A and B are shown apart, each in its own frame.
Chain A
Amino acid sequence: MEGLKKSLLVSLWFMFLTLPIVGVFVNTIDDVVIWRLERVLYVGICTFFLSFLWRFMISKKEAGAKRDEETGEEQISAFGKILANPSFYYPLLAGVLVFALLFPQIFSMYQVNIMISALIYVVLGLGLNIVVGLAGLLDLGYVAFYAVGAYSYALMNLYWGVNFWVALPIGALLGALCGIILGFPVLRLRGDYLAIVTLGFGEIIRLILENWGDFTHGPSGIANIPRPDFFGLFTGLSNSIHFMYYLMIVLVIFTIFIVNRLKNSRIGRAWQALREDEIACQAMGIDKVKTKLMAFSIGATWAGLVGVVFAAKTSFINPASFTFLESAIILSIVVLGGMGSILGVILGALVLMLLPEYLRAFSEYRMLVFGATMVLVMVFRPQGLVRDVRKKIDIAAVRKALGGANE
């Protein structure tokens, strides 16, 4: 009964909130006011039922938090257990790989195209994961490096006829260079200041691309960027798309390999340590500036690299592809997937990129759903889809294995 009353109040409150925005439309050209009060009623009915669900989820979450506190252990999901077991893990991996290789043979070109975009976001997510997930530097202007990569190929091709394979390393290098140039002055800023400066930097890059009309063709963008070929092979639209797909698969595997290696390397550990406690890190003799700069420029390298691929894939780029929203989406891939976790970022990218494509039927509402999903996941699962599992060393077990030799 108590719940019923609460839900009624919630639905009344939301009807009040949506009244002037949803319920009334003022057509200022013909000076007519259109009343659409029935829509407000729908909102009320929906929120009435949703509020039950909301309260149920909140109470479940609180119970879960209490249980964690009592047992003092993090709950590992069934999914996590399967992955930890090598006899399941390797066949699963092989299955995914076979599916990925056969994908263009099974599905239509449209699907392949979508998959290429999703894979581009996988690489972007993994790149940003280095900066945000591992090093804990909040970068809201990541898309700027992506733009640098895309425009470096487009412009070099336009003015000097440089081909894809030459542009690929140059784009990556320019991305890294921009990372260093931006990183150098701003890395002494803390979290949120860093966020806003990187956001500003991203916007500056976009605005320059938009306004420097003589050089970048401004808002109308650059068209006819050639797709890559491989020593004259794979020409023609269909072949070249298949080729791009396999190229992306190779690039994704390469990225996963490198990022995984980096994560457990000396520098990767330094990043994670820096994320946890800067001062302790400095006391341990880690060069703060060098380490952060490294994270920034390595993250930017991937963006530059995949920017070149993006330009080649769409064969047309303009500044509108590199807005803040894009940065926000890449960031949410990292956070929703699970910060620091490679698998999480890959899943996050695939879910966030493929879901809207397959929800085409609701195309109008997809960004609405997207925004709501971001909020809901954060509220009910703040650690993301896949929690980054840290390696723990059980000292007692180690001592036992050593036969108590150290005691």
Chain B
Amino acid sequence: MDYFWELFFSGLTRGSIYALIALGYTMVYGIIELINFAHGEIYMIGAFVGLTVAGVLTSFGFPAMSIMVLASMAAIVYAAAYGYTLEKIAYRPLRSAPRLSPLISAIGMSIFLQNYVMLAQTSDFISFPSLTPEFAFLDKYSSTIGTSDFLIIVVAAIMMVALTLFIKFTRMGKAMRATAQNRKMAMLVGVNVDQVISVTFIVGSSLAAVGGVLIASHIGQINFFIGFIAGIKAFTAAVLGGIGSVPGAMLGGLILGWTESFCTGYVSSDYEDVFAFALLVIILIFRPSGLLGKAPIQKV
């Protein structure tokens, strides 16, 4: 039974991270119907900024706990700035272009950002310091759940609740929902659509950055390529839950995390990623709009 719980929690940890990144995909897709392929790179940049700040602060001799907080904050700020700039350069000039153009632009951006980080920070795996504070009460469960797993699950849960509240109750959240439903109508009733899109990118990127720092500190090493596979997995999670739906992304992330964790634990560890994609194909065949997604209305 212990083994089951171990897999359960490791799945929950992975799933939370996937969900955090998937939220960025799903929000952007919900508003401008674009697969933001460079979102995984934003997550990777978040992790690198976290590393840089942690390294600099360590050399100045800051205490461990404050390093964790400051590194995450810096990662959030920078990822948000990158997300904002990305939208401004690669997507905004293409608002009225045919659908494939922003997608190609996104792929180009993704390749650019990967190589930019690779050139600046080498292509080696760089070890990331463990920033997790110790929780004494977890000691007796240490065989099933580690401290950093616990931290990831809790922080992810807090972020998701905060996001839900933000979308539900703030003015900006309302504007976002309105824009997602019908961009033209929202514009007509006085929503500043450009601003909404920028905020969407900023919020999505911040969530990804938190995921980046948490997982980097959990795994202990990063390199320029980590964004790619995480991005694809997170996108899978978003599609699984029904792209455009915020609770769908959370659910999709968790399901994907558990699927991977249980399948690798009980079936075979060689085909870890295959399970994720196979699950995606199966879900899409039987429920093409994802688990919580609404079937699109065909406009003639």
Contacts and interface: CB of A to CB of B under 8 A. Distances in A.
A188 B295 CA distance: 13
Interface stretch (A21-29, A119-127, A161-169, A229-237): A21-29
Interface stretch (A76-84, A192-200, A306-314): A192-200
A383 B98 CA distance: 8
Given A28-B128, A339-B100, A20 B78 contact: yes
Interface stretch (B16-24, B106-114, B148-156, B160-168): B106-114
B7 interface: no
Contact of A335 (B78, B104, B296): B104
Contact of B81 (A17, A22, A58, A375): A17
Contact of A379 (B55, B93, B100): B93
A368 B116 contact: yes
Given A20-B74, A196-B35, A372-B108, A185 B285 contact: yes
Nearest to A188: B288
Interface string B6-43: 00000000000000000000000100010100000000
Contacts of B271: 207-208, 211
Interface in A181-210: 185-186, 188-193, 195-197, 199-201, 203-204, 207-208
Interface string B119-131: 1111000111100
A200 B237 CA distance: 12
B105 A195 contact: no
A370 interface: yes
B103 A138 contact: yes
A25 B127 contact: no
A199 B115 contact: no
Contacts of B235: 196
A31 interface: yes
B263 interface: no
A190 B56 contact: no
Q: Is the interface of A mostly helix, strand, loop or mixed?
A: helix
Interface stretch (B132-140, B193-201, B275-283): B275-283
Interface centre among A22, A132, A204, A378, by most chain B C-beta atoms within 10 angstroms, is A378
Contacts of B53: 20
B52 interface: yes
A21 B117 contact: yes
Nearest to B109: A375
A26 to B, nearest CB: 3
Interface stretch (B62-70, B82-90, B183-191, B245-253): B82-90
A378 B105 contact: yes
Nearest to A184: B285
Interface in B163-216: none
A186 B55 contact: no
Contacts of B97: 378, 382
Contact of B284 (A21, A193, A203): A193
A45 to B, nearest CB: 17
A16 B129 CA distance: 24
Contact of B112 (A192, A328, A368): A368
A310 to B, nearest CB: 22
A25 B121 contact: yes
Interface centre among A201, A208, A379, by most chain B C-beta atoms within 10 angstroms, is A379
A101 interface: no
A364 interface: yes
A375 B232 contact: no
A28 to B, nearest CB: 5
B115 A371 contact: yes
Contacts of A24: 52, 55-56
A279 interface: yes
A224 B206 CA distance: 49
Contact of A193 (B58, B109, B115, B288): B288
A32 B59 CA distance: 8
A118 interface: no
A20 B107 contact: no
A20 B45 CA distance: 10
Interface centre among A16, A193, A279, by most chain B C-beta atoms within 10 angstroms, is A193
B143 interface: no
A143 to B, nearest CB: 14
Interface string B278-300: 10110011001000000010101
A328 B85 contact: no
A368 B284 contact: no
Contact of B280 (A13, A18, A200, A279): A200
Given A193-B284, A383-B98, 18 more contacts: A17-B85, A20-B52, A26-B56, A28-B128, A32-B59, A185-B285, A186-B284, A189-B288, A190-B288, A193-B243, A193-B288, A211-B274, A370-B111, A371-B108, A374-B111, A375-B105, A378-B101, A379-B89
Interface of A: 13, 16-18, 20-22, 24-26, 28-29, 31-33, 39, 58, 61, 132, 138, 185-186, 188-193, 195-197, 199-201, 203-204, 207-208, 211, 279, 324-325, 328, 331-332, 335-336, 339, 364-365, 367-368, 370-375, 378-379, 382-383
29 contacts: A16-B81, A20-B48, A20-B49, A21-B120, A22-B120, A25-B52, A25-B122, A28-B127, A31-B59, A132-B100, A138-B100, A138-B103, A186-B284, A186-B285, A189-B284, A193-B239, A195-B103, A197-B281, A203-B273, A204-B274, A207-B274, A211-B274, A279-B300, A336-B104, A365-B115, A368-B112, A370-B111, A371-B115, A374-B107
- Counting from the closest, the 4 A-B pairs by CB-CB distance are A374-B108, A26-B55, A371-B112, A371-B111
